[in-house]
Amino acid sequence: MPDHTADSRYAWLRLAATLGLMTIGSAAMYVVAVVLPAVQAEFGVARADASLPYTLLMVGFGLGGVLMGKLADRFGVMVPVLIGSVGLASGFALAAQASSILGFAIVSGLLLGLLGSSATFAPLVADTSLWFVRRRGIAVAICASGNYLAGAIWPPIVQHFVDTAGWRGAYTMLAIVSAVVMPLLALALRPRPPAAVAGVTRGGAAAQPSDRPFGFSMNQAQALLCVAGVACCVAMSMPQVHIVAYCTDLGYGAAQGAQMLSLMLACGIASRLISGLICDRIGGVRTLLLGSVLQGVALLLFLPFDGLVPLYMISALFGLFQGGIVPSYAIIVREHFPPAEAGARVGTVLMCTLFGMALGGWMSGKVFDLTGSYHAAFVNGIAWNLLNLGIVLLLLWGARRRMLATA
């Protein structure tokens, strides 16, 4: 009989399937940024309106994460993943036939976001945390790396299809991949997580989470994490969503921007893996603090430099600096909240990070429309990053104060 216990060989094989699913399922949030210039030109709309599909996709992505997380808790993670494959395949196919920016945006929000990509992010992260004890940090980091692996792989592929077959042809290709590959990978996820993991810490002892994490009530601590998630991802979305359009405006072309986005997210993969190792040593809150500080530094570098070579270098640094931020929230929840509530709480916090990406993607486009440049949009991102940093420092201070009080 196969060994389906925590940290087993099967757990690592399952993680490999999860990585593949997230890589395919996260494609939608990156390819919409690649096709943004082509969609804007075809429909003849403003930059903020052209950013609407991304915004609705991310809102649907976030809301769907909570829904899919509850389905996974009840029926196992394979069920939402199969729903996600249907949502993505039908969403890409219908988006390829859209006749207006509004229709494109609605399909992006409902099918690609709410019923599609959402099934391959928060539920998979929460499920992975239940299959590992000793190496939970690095396992969650590997799982979450699928999100950035998608960003490294898909933009240049989709840009090639946009150049040769148009953005509609690129979306049709993605519909076929989602319909064929995702159900096959989902079959590896049939077994349910070992029940013992839900009550075990990394050290193997029974979990004893505080009833007042960071010195706050459960709801207050959850709310602070949610606001922090929104803030960090408003800042994060500025380069990720608009780097292709930014390069086009600077005269470097969309292909160069797609390469920068791919480089940024490829470096984000390394960042997530390194952060996972760091997280296993210093904990989720300190890892989040480190990522927040470094992301702010990278955003500052975009202000004085707009040459082609500097932009490539800063894009790489941005990926290296901020890749570990989002997985840190899942670890923080597992460290400071009851394990039995991990799925719902992880889904809620990750939903807020996606709302932040959605808000930031639209907000940066709106700032561009009002000012005619992206300089003010980068400043806006830095301000939101400072808000995130302040909340993380508050949580760290609260945790330290509580530790001293109970010493």
State pLDDT tens for residues 42-61. Answer: 999 987 788 789 889 988 98
> Domain containing 82: what range?
9-406
More confident residue, 387 or 400: 387
**What's the CATH number where 72 sits?**
1.20.1250.20
pLDDT score recorded for residue 167: 95
Q: Residue 217 pLDDT > 50, yes or no?
A: yes
Considering the domain boundaries, does residue 313 fall inside one? yes
Is the predicted pLDDT of residue 270 greater than 80, yes or no?
yes
What does the pLDDT read at residue 212? 84
How far is 142 from 181, CA to CA, in rounded Å?
Answer: 20
Position 237 in a domain = yes
Q: Is the pLDDT of residue 118 over 50?
A: yes
Specify the pLDDT at position 381: 93
How much of the chain exceeds pLDDT 70, in percent?
95
Mean pLDDT calculated for residue range 321-334: 88
The pLDDT value given to residue 81: 96
In whole numbers, what is the pLDDT of the chain averaged over residues? 88
User: Do 116 and 137 meet the contact criterion of CB atoms below 8 Å apart?
Assistant: no
Please tell me the total count of domains within the chain: 1
Percentage of the chain with pLDDT > 90?
Answer: 52
d(CA 305, CA 95): 36
Look at 311 and 208; give whichever has higher pLDDT. 311
Residue by residue, DSSP assigns 203-220 as TSSBP---SSGGGS-HHH
Which residues, including other chains, have CB under 8 Å from residue 35's CB and lie 6 or more apart?
A: 158, 162, 167, 170, 171
The verdict on residue 2 lying in a domain is: no
